[in-house]
Structure 1
Amino acid sequence: MRAFRQVDVFSPLPLMGNPVAVVHDADGLTDEQMAAFARWTNLSETTFLMAPTTPGADYRLRIWTPGGELPFAGHPTLGSAHAWLEAGGAPAVADTVVQECGAGLVPVRRGERLAFAAPPLLRSGPVEAGDLTRIAAALALGVDEVVDAAWIDNGPGWVGLLLRDADAVLDVRPDLALFGDLDVGVVGLYPDGAGDGAAAEVRAFCPGLGVVEDPVTGSLNAGIAQWLAGSRLPTSYVASQGTAMGRRGRVHVDVVCDGPSREVWVGGDTLTTVIGTVAL
């Protein structure tokens, strides 16, 4: 039997964010066991806390969707750090937890809420015309409805599309049969004062990972901030996500500039909703 927690991430209200299933003391589990449990939970992600293998890390994290393993994901990072701390984990540095995962070492800052430092993009830059046509078709959009597009992949494979406004994002009705292996994030801005404190509305579609729409997505919001913060978005803002699914996700983004370098921090509230044990 292993300790288990389910943590709601990116909402101060219970059951209104994105849950992650966290298995503690998961050393010794096989890939097959982890994949089977992730399929069984049927959540966007299920994580497994293990002893670190890299100097400087407080723990190692394996992250699985129902469709396979990811090198990095945002809400599992925050939820797993919350679970590890709540279970008595003591970081080597008091105000920062250091997570080891497939994307390397990811610092998680402790403060009013947990926040992770966005890892570097694995793929960035403009989207070719043929790819954009395919992506727009998967979203049941015309190419002329896309204001801007870019690859913003920090692990899951994200491509980002900027639409004319938040309402256009909420109106998207994707054609799932056309997605294939696409992982697509869409973002649109709210007029000042219209977003209930949020500057933008975000949606994430990733049926190739076994998740049709992700309720609230840290990795996607990190990529969006690396792409748009300081130009179309402020360097400090809150993004709304999950509205179309009846959730109330709030993602807190802060960009710290030090000369030419920029560090993006993505934070959110975390709340344990289930505590128990699991037999694997």
Structure 2
Amino acid sequence: MKQRPFKQVDVFTPVPYRGNPLAVVLDGTGLAEEAMQRFTNWTNLSEATFVLPATTPGADYRVRIFTSGRELPFAGHPTLGTCHAWLQAGGRPKGEQVVQECGVGLVKLKRDGERLAFAAPPLLRSGPLANEDVELIARGLGIPRADILHHAWCDNGPHWRGVMLRSAEQVLSLRPDGAALAGLDVGVVGPRGKVGVIGARGASDPDDECAFEVRAFFPGNSGMAEDPVTGSLNAALAQWLIGSNLAPARYVAAQGTALGRAGRVHVERDEAGDIWVGGASVTCVEGSVLL
């Protein structure tokens, strides 16, 4: 074991302790997978990441992303938080953009003022959910099946199933049944404005910057858990919603409200058709960790 540089970063917020925290070990060289998993479980955070030298030409660094009990090929808030920590620690990209190597391949990141944004990786599975899945999700969320207006696979590594409800208020009122939803990763989105967006409030609305409210439910150690702010889900939701004309090409989503957080996820489709998902990050703890 040795002391390794470490940062704990709050992601999707410029204000400490209002987003989604992430543990970043900035030197993961020589660590066994078991040691990475053990440390991740010990942190009691949703994810921890370990920075390693790139093995693919063109990448600036490699990252391994762990959650409780398993490694993830990709996750959004760990991608942004790791890049923030790497840059803050003196990392310098080879080109204009940062290129991260992870389980799904190469992920591009760009700086947008004080925010970082990643290019959403291709969906591994898309299209509508099976009817039995939609009915099960409705039962698990405690709502009538008719209140699920739209649904789709949002699988970009994590196997998210996405559903759109009638309103943000309905999304925030959910009390999911963990037993009914056991084994499912479920992302729920509802417009803050009129149903059917493109009547939802957009980023230019002076009263509320957010067009959508998002919640993410997944299996946890003691039943169904909820993620404060979820980059992978928001990336896949954006690909689905924008691609289906259910959302404008640029919007801001709120997440974490039900948990007392204030996550803000900035989404934009550029002229080339790429979806960029971004947010602010702030370092809350830094030093070293014995690993």
Instruction: Pick the TM interval, shorter chain.
Output: over 0.9
Q: Distance in 1 between matches of 2:26 and 2:119?
A: 23
- The answer to whether 1:233 aligns with 2:247 is yes
Q: Distance in 2 between matches of 1:177 and 1:40?
A: 25
- The answer to whether 1:216 aligns with 2:229 is yes
Q: Conserved in 2, the CA contact under 8 Å of 1:2 and 1:24?
A: yes
- The answer to whether 1:140 aligns with 2:142 is yes
Q: Distance in 2 between matches of 1:171 and 1:199?
A: 17
1:248 paired residue among 262, 267, 275? 262
2:218 paired residue among 206, 226, 238? 206
Structure 2: gaps (5+ residues): 194-200
Distance apart, 1:22 and its partner CA: 0.2
The equivalences for 1:10-29 within 5 A come to 10-29=12-31
Distance apart, 1:195 and its partner CA: 6.9
Q: Conserved in 2, the CA contact under 8 Å of 1:253 and 1:265?
A: yes
Q: Conserved in 2, the CA contact under 8 Å of 1:183 and 1:208?
A: no
Distance apart, 1:141 and its partner CA: 2.2
Counterpart for residue 63 of structure 1: 65
TM-score by length of 2: 0.92
Counterpart for residue 197 of structure 2: none
Q: Conserved in 2, the CA contact under 8 Å of 1:181 and 1:208?
A: no
2:182 paired residue among 175, 180, 183? 180
| Aligned residues: CA RMSD | 1.5
Q: Distance in 1 between matches of 2:176 and 2:206?
A: 25
Counterpart for residue 196 of structure 2: none
Q: Distance in 2 between matches of 1:209 and 1:196?
A: 35
**SS, match of residue 48 in structure 1:** strand
Cα deviation, 1:122-144, whole Å, max 9, x if unaligned, reads 01001111111122222222211
Q: Distance in 1 between matches of 2:112 and 2:257?
A: 26
Q: Distance in 2 between matches of 1:149 and 1:208?
A: 23
Cα deviation, 1:153-174, whole Å, max 9, x if unaligned, reads 1011111000001001001110
Q: Distance in 2 between matches of 1:136 and 1:33?
A: 39
Following TM superposition, where does structure 1 have runs of at least 4 consecutive aligned residues deviating by more than 6 angstroms? none
Counterpart for residue 267 of structure 1: 278
1:129 paired residue among 107, 121, 131? 131
Paired AA for residue 106 in structure 2: L
Counterpart for residue 42 of structure 1: 44
Q: Distance in 1 between matches of 2:67 and 2:44?
A: 8
Q: Distance in 2 between matches of 1:170 and 1:234?
A: 22
Distance apart, 1:234 and its partner CA: 0.9
**SS, match of residue 224 in structure 1:** helix
Distance apart, 1:194 and its partner CA: 9.1
Q: Conserved in 2, the CA contact under 8 Å of 1:182 and 1:208?
A: no
Distance apart, 1:235 and its partner CA: 0.4
**SS, match of residue 125 in structure 1:** coil
Cα deviation, 1:102-157, whole Å, max 9, x if unaligned, reads 01000010121100000000010011111111222222222111111100110111
**SS, match of residue 155 in structure 1:** coil
Q: Conserved in 2, the CA contact under 8 Å of 1:139 and 1:172?
A: yes
Percent identity between the aligned chains? 58
- The answer to whether 1:82 aligns with 2:95 is no
Change (3 A) 1:194 1:42: farther
**SS, match of residue 265 in structure 2:** strand
Q: Distance in 2 between matches of 1:254 and 1:277?
A: 36
